[in-house]
């Protein structure tokens, strides 16, 4: 069984791609909906949330865990890799590889949560891999709330106004490639693409799912099942999740003990 973890709905963008590529694998999804957003919090708190979440997933003895969260991948992945016995896949490196392959004018943008942008891991990876790149970054924290609210239609007036304000700097900079460094953001790709026509959008969750699929040894070991856990408000999650996953979602089960939250 492969576990996919995010703070909320965003990781479904990675799960959808992983399910498409690995139809014979069993998956479980965990969204830490009691504590979303992660991206506005300190690195120390994000690491603590990630540890508690992985302790919960570890009980199921997953074959691998896909950290379908740009924030946790940026802030906590090396620490988590030391702590757990199963392989962990994050979104950062696969997205960076895809962006390096996609750019033609060597001007690459990164958008993510505040925590992701402040910790600078995307920038550092891009510059290390390709010192010839100019890298531009912006935190877009409202995109997380818009995605969780389901205000994601390409012509949604609120989402479009926020996108115009956040993304104008990339128009000015002439970036030809933009990493969606938060897994919630592909839910808004219609809105983003209208503000940045012609720019290649890199879906970091989907890139990570491809990385995972390529790395798994041998044929699928499951029956294609899917189970879903959240730490709060399962009904709200279920209502929006199906739209993003493109398949029926099993009823989410409440996870993490109330006293741990
Ligand atoms: N989906 C997340 C990410 O990729 C986190 C959003 C949040 O919890 O702030 O960064």
Q: What is the DSSP string of 96-144?
A: HHHHHHH-SSSEEEEEE-HHHHHHTHHHHHHHHH-TT-EEEEEE-HHHH
DSSP states of 221-260 = -S---EEEEESS-HHHHHHHHHHHHTSPPPPPEE-S-GGG
Q: Is 182 noted as a catalytic residue in this protein?
A: yes
Res 243 pLDDT > 80: no
pLDDT tens for each residue of 103-122: 999 999 999 999 999 999 99
Per-residue pLDDT, averaged over 159-179, amounts to: 98
Give pLDDT, residue 259. 67
249 lines ligand 1 (CB under 6 A): no
Give tens-digit pLDDT for 125-149: 999 999 999 999 999 999 999 998 8
Instruction: Find the Cα–Cα–Cα–Cα dihedral 165, 170, 173, 177, rounded to 10°.
Output: -170
User: 36: Cβ below 6 Å to ligand 1?
Assistant: yes
Give distance in angstroms: CA of 71 to centre of ligand 1.
5
Q: Please say if 140 is a catalytic residue.
A: no
- Give nearest CA residue, ligand 1 atom 2: 69
Structure confidence by residue, pLDDT tens digits, 201-232:
999 999 999 999 999 877 777 899 999 999 99
For range 68-96, the mean pLDDT: 97
């Amino acid at each position: 069984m492969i576990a996919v973890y995010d703070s909320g709905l965003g990781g479904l963008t990675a799960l959808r791609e992983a399910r498409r590529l690995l139809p014979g694998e069993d998956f479980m999804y965990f969204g830490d909906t009691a504590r979303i957003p992660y991206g506005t919090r300190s690195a120390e708190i994000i690491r603590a949330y990630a540890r508690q979440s992985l302790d919960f997933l570890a009980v199921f003895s997953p074959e691998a865990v896909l950290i379908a969260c740009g924030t946790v991948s940026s802030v906590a992945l090396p620490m988590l890799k030391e702590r757990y016995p199963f392989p962990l896949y994050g979104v950062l490196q696969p997205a960076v590889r895809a962006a390096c392959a996609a750019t033609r004018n060597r001007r690459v943008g990164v958008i993510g949560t505040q925590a992701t942008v402040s910790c600078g891991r995307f920038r550092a990876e891009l510059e290390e891999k390709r010192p010839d790149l100019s890298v531009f970054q912006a935190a877009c924290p409202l995109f997380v709330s818009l995605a969780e609210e389901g205000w994601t239609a390409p012509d949604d007036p609120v989402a479009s106004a926020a996108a115009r304000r956040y993304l104008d700097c990339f128009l000015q900079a002439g970036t030809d490639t933009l990493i969606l460094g938060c897994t919630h953001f592909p839910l808004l790709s219609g809105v983003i693409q209208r503000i940045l026509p012609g720019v290649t959008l890199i879906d970091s969750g989907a890139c990570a799912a491809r990385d995972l699929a390529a790395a798994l040894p041998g044929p699928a070991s499951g029956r294609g099942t899917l189970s879903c856990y959240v730490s709060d408000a399962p009904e709200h999650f279920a209502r929006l999740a199906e739209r993003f996953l493109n398949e029926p979602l099993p009823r989410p089960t409440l996870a993490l003990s109330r006293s741990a939250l």
